[in-house]
Amino acid sequence: MEAYEFIEEHKKLVTHFGQWPSFHDAEVHCLSLHRPAKTTSGGNIPSLELQLRGWVLKQEVSETGFYKLHGDAVIHFQFDGIFDLKIEGFNNQNVLSSMNLEVVNDPSMAGSSVLQVELAHCYEFEASFKARAARIISVTPYA
């Protein structure tokens, strides 16, 4: 299994781009933290919503000399049951060099897997966290 397959509705993104993108030069448009959901025992489940503007670059160059952005879109992710959250350098642009995903074992719940997410920095901003569940809410063409 590819790590991105851990994300529910990942096919929305693969269908839109024709592949899973690396998110190289993607921009974080929105990052918000919530705790609205409840566990069966009444506790809160921390969640992180992330909206990234991303695209796929191919070897195609525009008439102005820049690489063409294929599938330019804003992708809205939701990550539930987050922990080990680290955020640094949030600024006016928040460009990533990549979004790295890995499925790892959850030490607090033997036998369970979680998604480890790294938003690798390109300019100041970077973040990492683990999530017990993830899904793509929407893929919206960038206007």
Q: What is the pLDDT of residues 59-95, one digit of tens each?
A: 888 888 888 888 999 999 999 999 999 999 999 989 9
Each residue's pLDDT tens digit, 118-137: 999 998 899 999 999 999 99
Q: Which is more confident, 80 or 143?
A: 80
The kind and range of the H/E element at 61 are: strand 44-61
Do 52 and 73 form a contact (C-beta atoms < 8 A)? no
% of the chain with per-residue pLDDT over 90: 73
* Average pLDDT of every residue of the chain: 92
Q: Which pLDDT score is estimated for 99?
A: 97
Q: Which pLDDT score is estimated for 38?
A: 67
Domain parsing of the chain, residue ranges: 3-141
37 has pLDDT over 70 = no
pLDDT category at 19 given cuts 50, 70, 90 is: very high
Q: Which pLDDT score is estimated for 16?
A: 96
Do 33 and 130 form a contact (C-beta atoms < 8 A)? no
Cα angle vertex 45, ends 129, 52, to 5°? 45
